[in-house]
């Protein structure tokens, strides 16, 4: 929690329900708010007891908008550079982006712990260091090392394992039949 900060209390907002959601005959209607456009729609006409529509009056005050309950602002972090920008800033909590890999999360978590940066969706796994010399090496294809796969090489390998002779390469299959 930020020093001398009170718990942020935001205004309670009603759940904006879409009309006909949950009706048996309207299973295609999802529970996602859509503004009503019908000419005779009761909700659009703001009749009583049909639910409320979102309007500007439900907006929170500028002092508490975008704040977490501990009084800090949440900042979405995608890489180490963005996390380094938060070093030494008070009142900001980092949040890992949803598309970060497990390895990236672990590395960023380790950096954040060293620099004492708060993270709202912190990663709880242990960081496993890489063993020395196990870096990923790309295969280098030179003209002598890289041999293209030729059709029929699998047959030769299998026959070599079993000990039987494959058909000679210079003979055609029609010569072997008769």
Q: Is residue 86 part of a domain?
A: yes
Distance of CA 67 to CAs 78, 92, 126, 136, Å?
A: 20, 9, 30, 43
Whether 76 is in a domain gets the answer: yes
| Highest mean pLDDT, choosing among 12-16, 35-39, 148-152 | 35-39
- Residue 28 maps to a domain: no
Show the domain range for 103.
64-123
Is residue 24 in some structural domain? no
Q: What is the pLDDT of residues 6-27, one digit of tens each?
A: 788 888 888 888 887 878 888 8
User: Which tokens belong to 15?
Assistant: 């759940």
Q: Which of 108, 132, 128 is nearest to 118 (CA)?
A: 108
In-domain check, residue 72: yes
């Amino acid at each position: 929690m930020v020093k001398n900060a009170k718990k942020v209390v935001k205004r309670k907002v009603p759940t904006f329900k879409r009309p006909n959601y949950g009706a048996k005959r309207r299973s295609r209607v999802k529970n996602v708010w859509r503004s009503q456009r019908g000419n005779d729609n009761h909700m659009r006409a703001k009749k009583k007891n049909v639910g409320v529509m979102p309007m500007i009056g439900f907006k929170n005050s500028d002092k508490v908008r975008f704040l977490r309950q501990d009084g800090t602002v949440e900042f979405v972090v995608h890489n180490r550079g963005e996390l380094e920008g938060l070093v030494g800033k008070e009142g900001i909590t980092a949040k890992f982006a949803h598309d970060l890999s497990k390895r990236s999360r672990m590395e960023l978590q380790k950096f954040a712990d060293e620099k004492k940066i708060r993270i709202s969706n912190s990663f709880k796994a242990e960081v496993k260091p890489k063993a020395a010399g196990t870096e990923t090496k790309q295969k280098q294809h030179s003209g002598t090392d890289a041999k293209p796969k030729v059709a029929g090489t699998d047959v030769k390998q299998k026959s070599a394992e079993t000990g039987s002779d494959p058909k000679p390469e210079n003979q055609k299959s029609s010569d072997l039949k008769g």
